[in-house]
Amino acid sequence: MAQPDLFAPPSPARDILSPGALLLRGFALDAAPDLLAGIAAIEAQAPFRHMVTPGGFTMSVAMTSCGALGWVTDRRGYRYAPHDPDTGAPWPAMPEAFRALAERAAAEAGFPGFAPDTCLINRYIPGAKLALHQDKDERDTGAPIVSVSLGLPATFQWGGLQRGDTVRRLALEHGDVLAWGGPSRLFHHGILALKPGHHPATGATRLNLTFRRAG
């Protein structure tokens, strides 16, 4: 557009949340149909499942993965595995559209050459949530994490390195992308219980893609 849009929404298109953490509003909107088609193909091979934490709780978020590795949890602990424990098969390959989007988003955040070897796909229905946690099962925490939100909006919580650090809240919407690297890579974060609703792209669910270099 030739003129600045005076009626644009107030939320900025890009926002530095903390050093190394970048929010890119709507960055995945163009890719969303390809991403959703990719998820449909992946879940046909590696269905969403509710895994059990080491403490014995069944997660409210349903998960699957693609790429060389997939994130799994059971009574033995959290880890990355090259095979889907439910089928014994390798995880589905990471679609090129997934990889390319993650690489572009990481580059925008100052992390060129991001080469994720896993994409965790989280599916939320109303009431599903992810308690405040750190992502620290990856071998090299020097690589960033890129996350893509699709479908119903959610309230994202993020704090700092310490569990007791002040927690901030942020609404994440369809097409929003976050990149976390550098000093923010090990920040605590979570998702509050999803509110009921309907989204034209995903129906009554929220989907989140999380790209990581795990191996």
Distance set, CA 112 to CA 102, 105, 139, 143, 145 (Å)? 10, 9, 19, 10, 12
Q: Can you tell me which of 70, 180, 211, 213 binds ligand MD3, judged by CB under 6 A?
A: 180
Exposure string for 79-89, b = 16+ CB within 10 A, e = fewer: ebeeebeeeee
Binding characters for Fe ion, 119-148, by CB under 5 A (x = yes): ----------------x-------------
Task: For the CB of residue 185, give the shortest distance to ligand MD3 in the complex, in Å.
Answer: 6
Q: Which does 91 bind (CB under 5 to 8 A by kind): ligand MD3, Fe ion, none?
A: none
27 vs 180, beta carbon nearer ligand MD3: 180
192 vs 128: CA distance, rounded Å: 8
**Strand-strand pairing, 145-151 and 177-180:** antiparallel
| DSSP string for residues in 184-199 | GTT--EEEPPPPP--B
20 vs 92, beta carbon nearer ligand MD3: 20
Task: For the CB of residue 2, give the shortest distance to ligand MD3 in the complex, in Å.
Answer: 35
Binding characters for ligand MD3, 133-172, by CB under 6 A (x = yes): --x---------x-x----------x--------------
8 vs 114, beta carbon nearer ligand MD3: 114
| Binding-site positions for substrate | 71, 78-80, 137, 163
